[in-house]
Amino acid sequence: MLKKKSFEKYDKISKYILDIIGQKVDTAIILGTGLGKLLDEMEEKIEINYQDIPDFLLSTVKSHPGKFIYGKLSGKYVLCMAGRFHYYEGYDEAELATPIYVLKLLGVKTLILTNAAGAVNYNLHPGDICVVNDHINFAGISPTRGNNLEEFGERFYPIDNLYDKNLISIAEQAALEIGLILHQGVYFYTVGPFFETPSEIRAIRLLGGDLVGMSTISESLTAGHCGIKVLCLSLATNYSSDRIENMDGSEVEKIAEEASDDFKKLIMKILEKI
């Protein structure tokens, strides 16, 4: 049974966080697997464990710390989520909408999403960073399904500019300034937690997918509903299953660690510009 979305619950959670951090925040970052090195640069840190927040979700992914971290990056106060939530963990659509609606009530206008993804496009290789310019969601997951909360937006809303074109331009300029090659591509969402079959990957490639992953879409769709601008950066951490055999995910954190310095520099430069 689909759980009902509750404005009162989101408002309660946001007020709990606001009481701790002391002020609203314009920019939030959701950190993907192995991409937490950015937090090493954060000043004036305030950490809030998800488990301490009334009615909030709990991350079941071992590599995700499971906390909000508030502080200063590139001279700006930002709120980071170190640990996200996935459909494969057993959460339903209404639950997956929770973090983004809470961020909206905290004042967030710009959301930077990061993720680790499989490289489907033959021109992408492990270690490449790609700015997402669109997605394909044939899994049909819809975090805004069910009761609509008018406080956030209309039930029917456009997503043709879900990945903000101005933010993409800013990311490209930031990459140019630090001497980093930044690709563009389409993110294909799958529910997981299993990896895709070689035949599925060939279909994804044929349909125009450049990267494949098990996260991000519930966040970007909810952000689109409540008017938060989205920039999504994917790190290709592995080849897709028709390019490598016996995938088990072990390479994901290794590649993420190797690319973490470049990823950190890119986000820091982007924050300077937004």
β pairing state of 110-119 and 27-31: parallel
Q: Give the whole-angstrom CA distance, residue 174 versus residue 10.
A: 34
Question: Is residue 102 over pLDDT 70?
Answer: yes
pLDDT, greater one: 250 or 216: 216
**Alpha carbons 44 and 73: distance in angstroms, whole number:** 9
Asked whether the predicted pLDDT for residue 232 surpasses 80, the reply is yes
- Is the predicted pLDDT of residue 248 greater than 80, yes or no? no
The DSSP H or E segment spanning 78 is strand 76-82
pLDDT at 13 over 70: yes
The residues with which 77 forms a beta bridge, in sequence order, are: 72
Residue 250: what pLDDT? 67
Q: In 3D, which of 78, 97, 87 has the Cα closest to residue 39?
A: 78
The pLDDT score that the predictor gives to residue 117 is 94
Helix, strand or coil, per DSSP, at residue 145: coil
Angle between the N-to-C axes of helices 250-273 and 165-178, in degrees from 0 to 180, rounded to the nearest 10: 100
Between CA 88 and CA 105 the distance in angstroms is: 26
Mean pLDDT, rounded, for 199-228: 97
Predicted confidence (pLDDT) at residue 182 exceeds the cutoff of 90: yes
Measured CA distances, 25 to 9, 108, 133, 217, 269 (Å):
20, 6, 25, 22, 19
| Mean pLDDT for the stretch of residues 235-242 | 89
pLDDT band, very low/low/confident/very high, at 1 (cuts 50, 70, 90):
low
Taking the C-alpha atoms of residue 217 and residue 31, their distance in angstroms, rounded to an integer, is 14
Q: Which two tokens stand for residue 206?
A: 């044929």
Euclidean distance between CA atoms 51 and 32, whole angstroms: 19
CA proximity to 118, closest of 38, 185, 35: 185
So what's the pLDDT on residue 71?
97
Average pLDDT on 80-109 reads 94
Mean per-residue pLDDT, 4-13? 95
Q: What is the pLDDT of residue 230?
A: 98
pLDDT reading at 118 higher than 70: yes
Phi, psi of 117 (to 5 degrees): -140, 160
pLDDT at 125 exceeding the cut of 80: yes
Distance in angstroms between the alpha carbons of the first and the last residue of the chain: 41
pLDDT of residue 249: 61
CA distances from 57 to 52, 67, 94, 148, 177 (A): 10, 10, 11, 20, 38
Q: How confident is the model at residue 4 (pLDDT cuts 50, 70, 90)?
A: confident
How large is the average pLDDT for residues 71-84? 95
Under DSSP, is residue 224 helix (H, G, I), strand (E, B) or coil? helix
pLDDT in tens, 133-168: 999 999 988 999 999 999 999 999 999 999 999 999
pLDDT at 34: 64
The confidence score (pLDDT) of residue 213 equals 96
pTM for this structure?
A: 0.95
What φ, ψ does residue 261 adopt, rounded to 5°?
-65, -45
Reported as a single tens digit per residue, the pLDDT across 253-270 is: 778 778 888 999 999 999
**Statement: residue 48 has pLDDT above 80:** yes
| Amino acid 62: pLDDT | 67
- Which residue blocks in the chain are alpha helix, DSSP H? 7-21, 93-105, 165-178, 198-207, 217-225, 250-273
- Bridge pairing between strands 110-119 and 211-213: antiparallel
Give the pLDDT of residue 244. 75
Helical packing angle, 7-21 and 93-105, nearest 10°: 50
Predicted local distance difference test score (pLDDT) of residue 140: 87
User: Beta 43-49 vs 211-213: how paired, if at all?
Assistant: unpaired
